[in-house]
Amino acid sequence: MTTKYENVALLIHPMYSIVTDIYRNVQNLGTITFKELEPEYMKRLKLYKESIIQFKNTNTLFVIVEPTKDLINFKLEDFYGYMIDDLYSFARKELGTSFKIIKDNNYVNELKKLTPHLRKNVGVFPFGEHREVCVKSYNEFTINYLREHKLKPVNQGIQTKFSFDIEHKLERARLRRVV
């Protein structure tokens, strides 16, 4: 990686909620199967692939931040890998060396390795799942980290076109059940 990237696209925890919802009963609705969530999976996969196409040829380092804690706790690493493999293959084909995968439990160390490959004024484009929680917190952390390391990040804000508002969706579902 010798390029000095003008931008960093941060795709935070893609497919995370789908994988964990299949295995845990967040809403006390019983076991959720992949068949039930397949349309949502396909929708997200399509949207994440669109994001890759949008950032291709834009001097952008495209980083996917993989979730780890719950995947390890629920022993879902293999299932997650199976669900995300299509996206990773597509990203590698389209982006080549401008594509990196970072596990969230190693984010700081990996960000440290990537920082020298970023231009001083670097745009930061965060998006993904749980936009009001994970995406927001990774964006804030990344901006602060880059500033501390003498870069001048330009916060482009959460890319809502490629993000999912899962928090509010869950709240609306709870409210519908109460009524």
Are the CB atoms for 62 and 99 separated by under 8 Å? yes
Compute how many other C-beta atoms are within 10 angstroms of the C-beta atom of residue 37: 18
Cβ neighbours for 71, distance < 8 A, ≥ 6 positions apart: 19, 20, 77, 80
Q: Which tens digits make up the pLDDT trace of 93-118?
A: 999 999 999 999 999 999 999 999 99
Q: Tell whether the model's pLDDT for residue 129 goes beyond 80.
A: yes
Residue 132 pLDDT exceeds 50: yes
Distance CA 21, CA 17 (A): 6
The better pLDDT of the pair 10, 20 is held by 10
Give per-residue pLDDT as tens, 144-161.
999 999 999 999 999 999
Residue given tokens 């059940």 in the structure block: 177
Query: Rounded to whole angstroms, how far apart are CA atoms 14 and 80?
Result: 10
pLDDT attached to residue 157: 92
- What residues have CB less than 8 Å from 60, skipping those under 6 apart? 5, 6, 7, 8, 9, 98, 123, 125
Domains of the chain: 5-178 (3.40.50)
Q: How confident is the prediction for the chain on average, in pLDDT?
A: 87
